[in-house]
Structure 1
Amino acid sequence: MSAQVTTAPPVRRADVTGRRRRRRHRLLIPLGLAALLLTTTLVTHAVDQPDPGDRGFLSPVATGDDGGSRLADALRERGVTVQRETDTLRALLAARSPAATLFVPAPALLHPDTVGALDSLPSATRLVLVDPPRRVLAAVGLPMEPAGRRWAAQAVGPDARGLPCPLPELRQLGRVAVGLQRYAVAPGGSAPDRFCFADGLALLPRFPESTVLVGASDPFRNDRIDEWDNRAFATALLGGSGRVVWLDLDGPEPPPTFGNGSSGSPSWSPTPGGSTGNGGPGSGTGDGNPGRPGGNADDGSPGGESDGEDEGDSQAGGSDPPNPLWSAFPSWLWALLAQLAVAALLAALWRARRLGPPTPEPLPVTVRSAETVLGRARLYQRAGARDSVARTLRTAALDRLTPRLHLPPTAPPTDVAAAVAARTGDDPGWTDEVLHGAEPETDQDLLDLARALDRLTRTVAPPATDGPPPAAPQPHRAEGDPR
């Protein structure tokens, strides 16, 4: 009669490296998705809103997406003369006579020593500034300030606040993509409330003929001019006088050169506010602002330098224009910080359940040990902590086995496995796998490990009972053993 040999299923060794890799993926995948979203947003914004400092930005000879060659061609088709100038002084002189429209597509590139001369234009000249920064508005003396900026340009209609557009040539247009930068009257300003296109266009009629602030460059660019009514808007705004002086700056303007005008080129006076000598803009001899501090040749102060310096000193001692923190940085930076804050909040919520180990507290009532074990087991199961459960079971089994085998707690695992196998008759390799093997990968592997540890513990260290002694265990033999 042969005894039936029961073979316990072996515990599979887990791939520790693969498990660590899965844990790492749980952290890297959400962060990677957040980084991809931020990158896509920034690239999309950079493509949609080019930098005015880029080469060829709104240049009448640039054929790229950000150039203005298509607008220049459209103006010429309407019989408008387009005169390209790459120097601010020459552009100001060219716009004085005959009447013309001075188009400044990149006011941010103007040098601080020359930007103030824009207010010296004659009354018959229209000045069009595209998305001027706060410093340009303050230097020219325009009682306007930026009132809010969108992430991307919005197509809006000409009516604003229920009132028709103050420019008759723009009243019949449809939607135009100028809703990027809005404008408002500066504190203490007395300019009339003349806005249109949802405050994306501001008209200041008391300055040179009409100074127009346009809040976006989209209607003038090659890639956006055929959208909505952008082409009609740009040509109507610039082509009314029949001649356009186009100030084309490739980059930040260098400081003005100071000369005496003897070489035939216009000389530039260092008068603050942008006044010039030799009959140039702001010299006091023009018809734009005769009261400007330009002086004359008879006062012993050529170009009005001393008067201009006094005025500059008085302006420097006055109150500075408001410069809040959010206007000191580009809008994309604040959008990036907001998205990073949202990503950090989502990561904190995602990891909130693993902030730290549970804190032991005294129970207010006595709970049966079986209920405590069952509740803790359910918590382990919900968290999927099979590795923690396996370590707990193996530690408890070794704490019971080593005293019975007269082994110290620091005994090598191979010695413990050999002593247990000698007592139970099992294979030493299988015993070592049960006591010191890899962590289980599935719940079934964990259940098999618990049963194997229970069998080894009951065989070597049986619990004290009043019943008959347990039956002799059947030896576990390795597979392929002929015995």
Structure 2
Amino acid sequence: MTSTMQGPPAVRRRRNWRWIGAAILAIVALAAVTAWLTAPRPGGRMDPASTSADGAHALVTLLRDQGVDVVVADTVAEAEHAARPDSLLLIAQTGYMPSDELLRRLIAAPGDRLLIEPTSRTREALAAELRVAPTVTYGGEPDCDLPEATRAGSAQFGPTDTYELVADSPVTLTRCYSGAVVRYRDDGHTVTVAGTAEFMTNSSLLREGNAALAMNLAGTRPRLVWYAPQHVEGENSSSATIFDLIPARVGWAVWQLWLAVGLVALWKGRRLGPLVAERLPVVVRASETVEGRGRLYRSRRARDRAADALRTATLQRLAPRLGLGNKPDPGEVVQAVAQRTHKDPNTLVDNLFGPPPSSDNELLQLAHALDDIERQVAHS
């Protein structure tokens, strides 16, 4: 009878615990999925999956929402396989660009090319008709007839390289934004080069017409092959030379600096005659100087000069503490000291500005009085 009465409540308790456990597991799973979906995805520059400031996740998402088929290629082989005659191959400069031999394989890939922030090595391999112009732009109006740029309008690039054609180049170059974005036709391919990736990154996409310009340049074809390597490929994977790390026009500044240093060295290093050996003066401790001067005053009975030296030194130290000038009026000094120490003004006048002492004992008492005044002012 007892077991029969206790059975149903125990079963109900087990069922309640199962429901509670299932609810806790569901909450934990939902929190984990939410954290995974909303967590920032770090990555390198122009990484299409990165949500960091230098990533390009926002631009890739916008392009896919507009119907562009974005294919991410991690290697040159994948980029070659994904490229088609109606596709656009985007090559973004990163720290893991492959060797020159692998880069040249992209020239034979079908479709057009869009180079983003290429270094000198990448530019020589994929856009040999261009060279860096001696000007630097930070954005502005397109000032060209390129449809992608005119529709976007003003853009903000930040520091960027600008380009111009090499000497005796047979192609025709279209320069926008003072040369920060250029385009030309070469061997049946349309080659577009942008001097910086700043306007395409997550942090700068919303500035002025950056988003429109980035989407117009990257969305000109129904298929976009995105090649921004995020790992080493091949044996020689250095992406930049030391000269690529030096901003434009810094070379002239360095030469001017060397010239200035040389002129200063010649000026400071001039010799007007032979070197002359000079003996160093004798170093005397301050305490010995004070004792010697005191003995000199005592031997000459110069109590007036000794008292004047003590009073002058005391006044020089008191004036800054009392907020007075270099040569304060005696009345002001007495009044200020009396307010700080509560001493009798007549006594202060006698100590600070009185007659010289007539004996060594009076000189010693004056020194003690001046030291007491200075100590009370310092601690008041």
Q: TM-score, length-normalised on structure 1?
A: 0.46
**Structure 2 counterparts to residues 7-406 of structure 1, below 5 A:** 55-95=43-83, 97=84, 99-106=86-93, 109-122=97-110, 125-140=111-126, 142-148=128-134, 150=136, 154-160=138-144, 164-165=145-146, 168-178=147-157, 180-251=160-231, 253-255=233-235, 327=243, 329-331=245-247, 334=250
Question: 1:433 Cα shift?
Answer: 5.7
CA contact (8 A) 2:120 2:244 kept: no
Q: Percent identity?
A: 18
Question: 1:256 Cα shift?
Answer: 8.1
> What is the number of equivalent residue pairs in this alignment?
261
Question: 1:59 Cα shift?
Answer: 1.1
Distance 2:249 2:186 in 1: 36
Distance 1:418 1:196 in 2: 87
- Matched residue, 1:414: 291
CA contact (8 A) 2:134 2:162 kept: yes
Structure 2 residue matching 1:478: 3-state secondary structure = helix
- Matched residue, 2:348: none
Deviation per CA, 1:307-344, whole angstroms, max 9, x where unpaired?
A: xxxxxxxxxxxxxxxxxx99565118939977x96xx9
Structure 2 residue matching 1:119: 3-state secondary structure = coil
Distance 2:219 2:127 in 1: 25
Report the CA distance shift for 1:336/1:252 in structure 2 as closer, same or farther (over 3 A): farther
Question: 1:74 Cα shift?
Answer: 0.3
Report the CA distance shift for 1:99/1:256 in structure 2 as closer, same or farther (over 3 A): farther
Letter in 1 for 2:142: P
Report the CA distance shift for 1:140/1:196 in structure 2 as closer, same or farther (over 3 A): same
- Matched residue, 2:32: none
Distance 1:479 1:473 in 2: 9
Distance 2:327 2:124 in 1: 76
Structure 2 residue matching 1:155: 3-state secondary structure = strand
Distance 1:195 1:224 in 2: 22
Question: 1:174 Cα shift?
Answer: 1.0
Question: 1:159 Cα shift?
Answer: 1.7
CA contact (8 A) 1:59 1:69 kept: yes
Indicate whether 1:478 and 2:375 are aligned: no
Distance 1:336 1:429 in 2: 65
Distance 2:155 2:233 in 1: 30
- Matched residue, 2:31: none
Distance 1:191 1:439 in 2: 85
Report the CA distance shift for 1:252/1:145 in structure 2 as closer, same or farther (over 3 A): farther
Letter in 2 for 1:147: A
Report the structure, 1 or 2, having the larger helix content. Answer: 2
Letter in 1 for 2:67: G
Structure 2 residue matching 1:127: 3-state secondary structure = strand
Distance 1:184 1:88 in 2: 27
Deviation per CA, 1:160-187, whole angstroms, max 9, x where unpaired?
A: 4xxx22xx34332211224721100012
CA contact (8 A) 2:152 2:210 kept: no
Report the CA distance shift for 1:93/1:473 in structure 2 as closer, same or farther (over 3 A): closer
Distance 1:77 1:92 in 2: 25
Structure 2 residue matching 1:192: 3-state secondary structure = coil
Report the structure, 1 or 2, having the larger strand content. Answer: 2
RMSD: 4.3
Report the CA distance shift for 1:103/1:69 in structure 2 as closer, same or farther (over 3 A): same
Report the CA distance shift for 1:156/1:430 in structure 2 as closer, same or farther (over 3 A): same
Deviation per CA, 1:75-96, whole angstroms, max 9, x where unpaired?
A: 011011111111012112211x
Letter in 2 for 1:157: E
Deviation per CA, 1:94-137, whole angstroms, max 9, x where unpaired?
A: 11x35211111116723222111222122xx1110012122222
Structure 1 gaps of 5+ residues are: 1-53, 258-324, 349-354, 356-410, 449-471
CA contact (8 A) 2:130 2:163 kept: yes
Letter in 2 for 1:67: G
CA contact (8 A) 1:103 1:127 kept: yes
CA contact (8 A) 2:143 2:177 kept: yes
Letter in 2 for 1:216: T
Report the CA distance shift for 1:425/1:79 in structure 2 as closer, same or farther (over 3 A): closer
Question: 1:253 Cα shift?
Answer: 3.7
**Structure 2 counterparts to residues 437-448 of structure 1, below 5 A:** 444=326
CA contact (8 A) 1:178 1:219 kept: yes
- Matched residue, 1:310: none
Report the CA distance shift for 1:77/1:440 in structure 2 as closer, same or farther (over 3 A): same
Report the CA distance shift for 1:445/1:196 in structure 2 as closer, same or farther (over 3 A): closer
Letter in 1 for 2:70: V
Distance 1:333 1:171 in 2: 29
Report the CA distance shift for 1:201/1:89 in structure 2 as closer, same or farther (over 3 A): same
